[in-house]
Structure 1
């Protein structure tokens, strides 16, 4: 579903469309997981739904229950793939510029690979 405020030219939409290259970790018909180009830890992956969702609230309100379930199950599978289950990790999503959101396409950061104490970068 498309939000009227969604910018179809944002960088994540362009990556999903294949217009901008990215180092892909996982992809299916509904989501894409890529390595962050400015990682704040040894492991920093972004998980993006392919639909046009601005932020977490937009995703939860407009995506189907099946897509929401698929998205979070795949995040868990990616965490397993990255071997972060025993070491630990952070899942972060930002909503709004005051919270640090700079790209207005909903996405989740998976961060790990070192001890994470306090604030981790500007996400």
Structure 2
């Protein structure tokens, strides 16, 4: 799970680094991305650290469900639950993961570029 070094997200959760908190509960913490890729861009992280979504799914499926439920809650709070939103997990450096504490990106609030448009 953890390599021992504290991540940026653990410091944000602990309140050591300020963040614009959108939602939090017993198992998850959600805050606005400092480099938003859409009008709404919120990160949802589990309070317990796992490196990526694959590791989380294998070790604690209930916590993964909690993260996804928190994504839905964030979308509702941000007013994009009905208009639509995207949930993205980057896994590994090739996918663009820069903080190795699993996190979901909740994106929306505008028309997003088509993704996987070959699927109908």
Q: How many residues align?
A: 115
Over 3 Å counting, the alpha-carbon distance change for 1:13 and 1:4 in structure 2 is closer
Aligned to 1:113: 109
- Normalized against structure 2, the TM-score is what? 0.87
Given the alignment of the two structures, is residue 12 of structure 1 paired with residue 6 of structure 2, yes or no?
no
Q: How does 1:1-123 map to 2 (within 5 A)?
A: 3-5=1-3, 7-63=4-60, 65-118=61-114
- Normalized against structure 1, the TM-score is what? 0.85
1:88 to partner: Cα distance: 1.4
Across the aligned residues of Structure 1 and Structure 2, the Cα RMSD in angstroms comes to 1.6
Structure 1 alignment gaps of length 5 or more: none
| Greater than 4 Å deviation, 4+ residue runs | none
